[in-house]
Structure 1
Amino acid sequence: MGGRMGGVRFVMVASIAMGLVVGKDAAFAQGGSEHVETLPPVEVTAPSQGVKRGRPRETRRIVRPQPRVAIPTTPASTPSSASAIDADKVPGSVNVVDTRLIERTGSPNITDALQQSVPSVNISEVTGNPFQPNLEFRGFVASPVSGTPQGLAVYQNGVRINEAFGDTVNWDLIPTLAIKSVTVVTNNPAFGLNALGGAVDLRMKDGFSYQGTELSVIGGSFGRIQGSGQWGKTIDNNYAVYGALEGVHDDGFRNFSQSDIRRFYGDIAYKNDANEFHLNMGVADNKFGATATVPAELLQQYWGATYTTPQTSHNQVGYFNLTGKVEATPTWTIEGAAHLRFFKQSTQDANPTGTQPCDDPTLLCFGDSSTPAFGLNGVQLSNPFPSDAFLGENDRTSTRSTTAGFSLQATNDDKLFGHGNHFTVGTSIDTSVTWFNASAELGTFGSNYVFNGSGIFLGPSGSPVTDGPVSLRTTNQYIGLFALDTFDVTDRFSITGGGRFNTANVNLQDQLGTALNGNHDYNRFNPVIGGTYKITPELTFYAGYSEANRAPTPLELGCADPAHPCTIASFLVSDPDLKQVVSHTIEAGLRGTRELNIGTLSWKLGGFRAKNTDDILDIPSPILQGFGYFQNVGDTRRQGIEAEVNLKSSVLQVYASYSFIDARFLNSLLLGSNSPFADANGNIQVSPGDQIPAIPRHRIKAGIDYAVTDQFRIGGDAIWVSSQYFIGDASNQAPKLPSYAVVNAHASYQINKTFQIFGRIDNIFDNRYATYGTFFDTGQLPNFANGGAPFTDPRSLSPARPRAFYAGLKATF
């Protein structure tokens, strides 16, 4: 695809300065499309308020009917009222983030809207960059970081966008402006592999649901300048075109943390009374300074500090999706999708190295002073570095994946024994080919922790550790067959049952030898059963049980031997088998809505328990700091409760939520760890009941939006997240990463029908907190900021952004 990915360019215009902060778009009082839509496979539609257009409409009180939701099926679904059922028939928690909730954040990151709106979602900046966050839901993660055991499936317009090599999710590639709604799905195996904790389903806009033109520009703190535009048009009622373009430049508040984002999304569509077809496409070309965690002692002196540089990432993607729906008969609907996706990622990651002078100081050794360090030619490396140099290595990786597949489903709404019935059956096939390459250049670190390369590349070295070049070709093939049925036993009581059979094949072909060669097959049938009962017209009880499985990724299979650990995400050295992870989830709860004089009140209260068998974790190597491997660690459990209340009207919107997540190990484990409490062999003892690190137990969220006048709106939101254990502290011996709270505010003023000014303040009280923590080896590099003395604090943190101001101008036509 090259460095310019389809020629996507965005020319930024000058931003305006403004004291207040972010508002909604000019069409705040407008809703979604006029027809009930089906997300593939799930969507709760917006109230029927007419097509969203560029121009604002007169503010009025809207009475919201009960939403409708598509039964979870294969992501081949296209917008179709025929495949929609009442939301109260879904035997699980329903979490929907619509366009309004996305717009109110004023953020180019869709994960910000999910964090504000979904009770059990939490965001952490593991990479040190706000555009590449970890999204954690109920203790399961969708992360852009290679080596993170993933637990959520993510779909865009019905196509799974977890990348093939490590199941990672690059949130930066998703054009936020073009998102119509996001549904966070629970308790359903129909989403296929990796939906252990659920799935995130993104539905994009098209020319039938969005019509008009919108242009906006935003500027603010830390060198942020952002421009975007979208345009949609319907032609002769049967054809529609939509396009969205976004560009962002951000210098970041930390050293070397600049971000540049360019992304485009487009859709061409046709529909008539019975059929609908869409061709959508997208490209993105994004570059990041991913500054990762930094020693706590450096942050105490400067909040924008970094530890080792460079740490960069360059992501590129191009994709085409063709979806279609045909109403074969009044009760049978056929839906299908075909997709093609190209992904390329290049990374640099400077780290301390296991390379060191030998007992003979003219030579280099690896891991100790007697094991030779070899070059690419297999000859032991001579030592060209000064005796007082601090050695390091720049680990470079290149990942190129091509993914193709299709899915097909049939839906029937014929009555069964005189009762309402909704039946879906289908299949999906996905195939991916990935080329992965890695190399390590030796060099030195200066007093600013910036790496200086030498042009000397490390070959396979060390015993049992290997840190040499890698060239690997992997192929993944995933096939799924599913059937689901919802049957109305009475007008109040509905039951849902079905299941999905998944088969996965992962093949690894070492391009430099045979050590990584391997072929792995995984098969499983995952059932689902549940029901809903409408206690009153305004109150519904739901309960369900489901299972889901995750096959190990090529990355995990290529680094799964404790005797041969590797630098996670860089160097793969062995290929033993890993067991697939299986989740068993049960959940139940109550939800209700009620029309009040001041608006629509909705609420929900539920609980869940998910048990994973043969869970996979990334384990730090006790042999060499910075190395690790993947391992099945027995059973783990995540359980909790969720409570949420919302009040919505055209003038006022108020929400509040609380979630409790209890995540624990269920087996006794002896694990390698970088914890300061590890024993002499680098191990910690995990006992049954110890908490899983990096999962806060409590999250409280609240927000308000108020229309002071028809033109002027203000609002704010707050999030409190409790303390969590550091990564590496699975034995729960170290003090926790402290809890934190952050408060944001936004405002907008509609000047006329065309122009709106808006702005926001993030982190109003300028709290200094960290969202993620781990440990590091205090003896590898000195604390140059403290005169070169050794580090004494083993904590390494990912600091959150300080107070920031943003303002902008939006024009709609």
Structure 2
Amino acid sequence: MGARKLLIASSMGLVLWTDAGMAAQDEDTNVQNLPAIEVVAPQPAARRSAPRTAARVVNSGKPKNRIYVYPTAPGNAKGLEVDKIPSSINAVDASQIKRTGSLNVTDALRDNVAGVNITEVSGNPFQPNVEFRGFVASPIVGTPQGLAVYQNGVRINEAFTDSVNWDLIPTAAIRSVTVVTNNPAFGLNALGGAVNLQMKDGFTYQGAEIDTMGGSFGRIQSSAQWGKQVDTNYAVYAALEGLHDNGFRTSSQSDVRRFYGDVGYKGGDSEFHVNMGLANNNFGASATVPAELLQQYWGAIYTNPQTTNNRVGYVNLTGKVEATPTWTFEGTAHARVFEQRVVDGNPTSVQECAAVGLLCFGDDTTPANGLNGAQLANPFPTGSLLGELDRTTTRSTTFGVSGQATNTDRLFDHENRFVLGASFDASVTRFNATAELGTIGTDYVVSGSGVFLGQSGTPATGEMGPVSLRTVNQYTGLYALDTFNVTDAFAITGGGRFNHARVTLEDQLGTALNGDHTYDRFNPVIGGTYKITPELTAYAGYSEANRVPTPLELGCADPNNPCLIASFLVSDPPLKQVVSKTVEAGLRGTRELNIGTLGWKIGGFRATNYDDIMGLPVAGRQGFGFFQNVGNTRRQGLEAEVNLKSDTLQFHASYAFVDARFLDALELSSNSPTAVLNGGLIQVVPGNQIPAVPRHRIKAGIEYAVTDAWKVGGEALWVSSQYLAGDEANLEAKLPSYAVFNLHTSYQVSKNVQLYGKVDNIFDNRYATYGTFFDTTAVPNFANGGAAFTDPRSLSPARPRAFYAGMRVTF
């Protein structure tokens, strides 16, 4: 209901504002808005008249061949010249985000960044996994995270799990997104890089826009944004978004409600901002589905309900002072409250005891106790198929401060840029979990009984008693980077960051989960760029990064006492921190042609993880698993991109090769068919590929202005096959490759009104983006008369063909 009210309000606003005469001023195209593979200064003068649109660019007067690659408040500083960045450049601007017609910023990353692959592990398009070079930023609790994500200079990986809830990010308010690689300045989790989100404000966006779209599967969405500069010193910006989508799967509805606002002040050489955001989102269908059920019905689910409610509120204070012509000081203070509630229907190891009238665990003799400690009587009819409703609540409160000083004094009469920064973040999390017994119907829906499990048995036999845990994270970082121009063409960068982390666990129901863990690490970086010609630059760099185990991983690290992932924790041994060492090198360039500006780049990378952490399943225990250091792993590959930009044509194409492998011999727990036949274990040999990482990705996109008012375009994506999660030994059949094609068009009806439409998956391909294995004996195949499942694969089905149409009105 909340999302529908927001959509109605936005539509009413569209009518009320239609006659307004003020033209909207679109995003500033300064350094923060470099396109995805643009690496040079602005394009040449227009060769034809501009399309009829109300959008106008705000000229900030800032250099346009710079990009911001530091983890402090974006938008306030001049950034670093792109020709001096010793790593790959991957950026997406607001126009590319808008072109997707999506309220998921991850869609723009998928279309425009070569190394990015999107998988809907959760079964919901608004909670995707973002995989880049084999490293993941995922909303799925229990996924080992390898990317740091920053919004307005604030790290937004969740405190308890380091997960990233992409649905909480206000997409309409994004000014640009940069995927920064080979840079330890972004602190913890930047193993594969950092995603740096920079937001709009009233100085860079002025005017108003209302964007409403609807289409297949009951989708209706609307966003409204407004920015205004008051006199020369003050500016205000606000964005409001709402979405409802029924989804193509049973019980896969989504409701998204988000707000973002910014108040800014500029005076002399100083600039200050207060920005805040709120979100309250609900999702269904958060799991994979047995392949046999998908063959019967593409929208099938398996064990329901699967609901998630995410809520967040945050406020950030940012400031910049240019103390002298060569000294700039920046600072950020932030507070954030995040709450997640999950209800998950699952099979259970509780069953009737050998003794009639009582409940036991899987061995028929271990008592299943209630909350009062007494063995539970069996309230269910004989022969009932039992399940359980697992409920978790995670509430994290985070406070933090950061500061950065930048000096541009010449050194030995050469240009030099020195950056010194520090950050401190403290988070307190309260995690609670309960398990309610119930029955599973032929529709795979678990119906609760009001009977809750208490502490009983042992974790190895299926004990699922309540959990109440308080955790405290304290992360401190100090970094320094220096970029020195040896010559006008040759620049070197060096520096590093020291990270200190302390993670404390306090069991609220006993002492089993108590723990106090401290991790320290200094991560260096060194690199250089050489401008071979005015149109060609070479780069190379080496860096190190680390991530520390999360409270969830530390609370679930014992293979003898597995946990129901994302729900319950047990007392476990500590884990080692992960250290990644990365080297990358490449070439990038641009050239002016008669038909437009040609840009291209090609580069290679190799990242070696030491003491990598993986989440491992347990054979025969649906949903159970644990976290373990798995020795060394390596991710290496090649990325190549080309693009052409003119007033009539926008074209880009890219290829990415990602080779992710284990480097050590391992014996791992698994739920693959081979493991089930071998006591739940598989043997990994050096060179085995890491599952769920496709080796090849090919992307292409084009948009052509048929007239000044009418544009047409499309995108194509091909992703190669990949091993299913749980098949680390590479013994099972792969998840097949897939290709998907999308079309879009827009027509500028008048200066203020634009109509647009798009078709996703135009050939209606049925494919899965992710696969794993499940316990085929846990629940019967009711779609096949109650027979046992025979196919152990469980997949995440992609959305079928979908049609959407919308309208944008600017003022």
TM-score by length of 2: 0.94
Does the aligned pair in 2 maintain the 1:747–1:760 contact within 8 Å?
Answer: yes
Which residue type is aligned with residue 510 of structure 2? G
Does the aligned pair in 1 maintain the 2:337–2:396 contact within 8 Å?
Answer: yes
The alpha carbon displacement at 1:340 in A equals: 0.3
Match of 1:726 in 2: 724
Question: Cα–Cα, structure 1 residues 54 and 248, in superposed 2: closer, same or farther, change >3 Å?
Answer: farther
Matched residue of 1:677: which SS? helix
Match of 2:632 in 1: 635
Matched residue of 1:309: which SS? coil
- Equivalent residue in structure 1 for 2:313, among 318, 321, 324: 318
Match of 2:144 in 1: 149
Matched residue of 1:729: which SS? coil
The alpha carbon displacement at 1:11 in A equals: 3.1
- Residue by residue over 1:754-807, the C-alpha shift from the partner in whole angstroms, topping out at 9 and shown as x without a partner, is 111111000000000000101011111111111111111001010000000000
Question: Cα–Cα, structure 1 residues 28 and 582, in superposed 2: closer, same or farther, change >3 Å?
Answer: farther
For 2:52 and 2:516, the matched residues in 1 are separated by: 56
Match of 2:771 in 1: 773
- Equivalent residue in structure 2 for 1:460, among 452, 455, 462: 455
Q: Does 1:615 align with 2:598?
A: no
The alpha carbon displacement at 1:58 in A equals: 9.5
Does the aligned pair in 1 maintain the 2:92–2:108 contact within 8 Å?
Answer: yes
The alpha carbon displacement at 1:626 in A equals: 2.1
Q: How does 1:256-335 map to 2 (within 5 A)?
A: 256-335=251-330
Q: How does 1:177-216 map to 2 (within 5 A)?
A: 177-216=172-211
Q: Give structure 1 stretches of 5+ with no counterpart.
A: 16-25
Q: Does 1:472 align with 2:476?
A: no
Matched residue of 2:564: which SS? coil
Which residue type is aligned with residue 591 of structure 1? R
- Equivalent residue in structure 1 for 2:383, among 379, 382, 388: 388
Q: Cα RMSD (Å) of the superposition?
A: 2.6
For 1:35 and 1:260, the matched residues in 2 are separated by: 34
Match of 2:541 in 1: 544
Q: How does 1:503-518 map to 2 (within 5 A)?
A: 503-518=500-515
Which residue type is aligned with residue 692 of structure 1? I
- Equivalent residue in structure 2 for 1:252, among 239, 247, 253: 247
- Residue by residue over 1:220-274, the C-alpha shift from the partner in whole angstroms, topping out at 9 and shown as x without a partner, is 0000011110000011122110000000000000000010010000000011341
Matched residue of 1:555: which SS? helix
For 1:10 and 1:46, the matched residues in 2 are separated by: 39
Q: How does 1:475-486 map to 2 (within 5 A)?
A: 475-486=472-483
For 1:303 and 1:636, the matched residues in 2 are separated by: 35
Which residue type is aligned with residue 508 of structure 1? L
For 1:676 and 1:103, the matched residues in 2 are separated by: 44
Matched residue of 2:295: which SS? helix
Match of 1:21 in 2: none
For 2:660 and 2:300, the matched residues in 1 are separated by: 32
The alpha carbon displacement at 1:8 in A equals: 9.8
Question: Cα–Cα, structure 1 residues 467 and 217, in superposed 2: closer, same or farther, change >3 Å?
Answer: same
Give percent identity, aligned residues only.
68
Match of 1:812 in 2: 810
For 1:534 and 1:480, the matched residues in 2 are separated by: 33
For 2:40 and 2:97, the matched residues in 1 are separated by: 15
Match of 1:535 in 2: 532
The alpha carbon displacement at 1:314 in A equals: 0.2
Which residue type is aligned with residue 797 of structure 2? P
Match of 1:748 in 2: 746
The alpha carbon displacement at 1:27 in A equals: 13
For 2:152 and 2:274, the matched residues in 1 are separated by: 11
Does the aligned pair in 1 maintain the 2:52–2:750 contact within 8 Å?
Answer: no
- Residue by residue over 1:551-579, the C-alpha shift from the partner in whole angstroms, topping out at 9 and shown as x without a partner, is 00000001111111110110001132100
Which residue type is aligned with residue 142 of structure 1? A
Q: How does 1:289-688 map to 2 (within 5 A)?
A: 289-465=284-460, 466-622=463-619, 624-678=621-675, 679-688=677-686
The alpha carbon displacement at 1:47 in A equals: 4.0
For 2:501 and 2:193, the matched residues in 1 are separated by: 19
Question: Cα–Cα, structure 1 residues 468 and 605, in superposed 2: closer, same or farther, change >3 Å?
Answer: same
The alpha carbon displacement at 1:680 in A equals: 3.5
Which residue type is aligned with residue 395 of structure 2? R
Q: How does 1:77-116 map to 2 (within 5 A)?
A: 77-81=74-78, 84-116=79-111
For 2:219 and 2:409, the matched residues in 1 are separated by: 55
- Residue by residue over 1:699-745, the C-alpha shift from the partner in whole angstroms, topping out at 9 and shown as x without a partner, is 00000000000110000000000000001100001100000000000
Does the aligned pair in 2 maintain the 1:31–1:48 contact within 8 Å?
Answer: no
The alpha carbon displacement at 1:29 in A equals: 13
Question: Cα–Cα, structure 1 residues 169 and 800, in superposed 2: closer, same or farther, change >3 Å?
Answer: same
- Residue by residue over 1:483-515, the C-alpha shift from the partner in whole angstroms, topping out at 9 and shown as x without a partner, is 000000000000000000000000000000000
- Residue by residue over 1:570-622, the C-alpha shift from the partner in whole angstroms, topping out at 9 and shown as x without a partner, is 00011321000000000000000111111111000000000000000011124
The alpha carbon displacement at 1:34 in A equals: 6.4
For 2:199 and 2:738, the matched residues in 1 are separated by: 33
Match of 1:18 in 2: none
Does the aligned pair in 1 maintain the 2:10–2:223 contact within 8 Å?
Answer: no
Aligned residues: 792
Q: Which range moved further: 106-115 or 386-395?
A: 386-395
- Residue by residue over 1:373-430, the C-alpha shift from the partner in whole angstroms, topping out at 9 and shown as x without a partner, is 1111111111111222111011100000000000011000000001000000010000
Does the aligned pair in 2 maintain the 1:421–1:487 contact within 8 Å?
Answer: yes
Does the aligned pair in 1 maintain the 2:662–2:686 contact within 8 Å?
Answer: yes
Q: Give structure 2 stretches of 5+ with no counterpart.
A: 13-20
Question: Cα–Cα, structure 1 residues 583 and 557, in superposed 2: closer, same or farther, change >3 Å?
Answer: same
Question: Cα–Cα, structure 1 residues 27 and 112, in superposed 2: closer, same or farther, change >3 Å?
Answer: farther
For 1:310 and 1:191, the matched residues in 2 are separated by: 38
- Residue by residue over 1:670-716, the C-alpha shift from the partner in whole angstroms, topping out at 9 and shown as x without a partner, is 11111011144211111110000000000000000000001100000
Question: Cα–Cα, structure 1 residues 167 and 778, in superposed 2: closer, same or farther, change >3 Å?
Answer: same
Matched residue of 2:206: which SS? strand
Question: Cα–Cα, structure 1 residues 749 and 671, in superposed 2: closer, same or farther, change >3 Å?
Answer: same
Matched residue of 1:400: which SS? strand
TM-score by length of 1: 0.94
Match of 1:22 in 2: none
Matched residue of 2:110: which SS? helix
Does the aligned pair in 1 maintain the 2:114–2:654 contact within 8 Å?
Answer: yes
For 1:489 and 1:13, the matched residues in 2 are separated by: 55
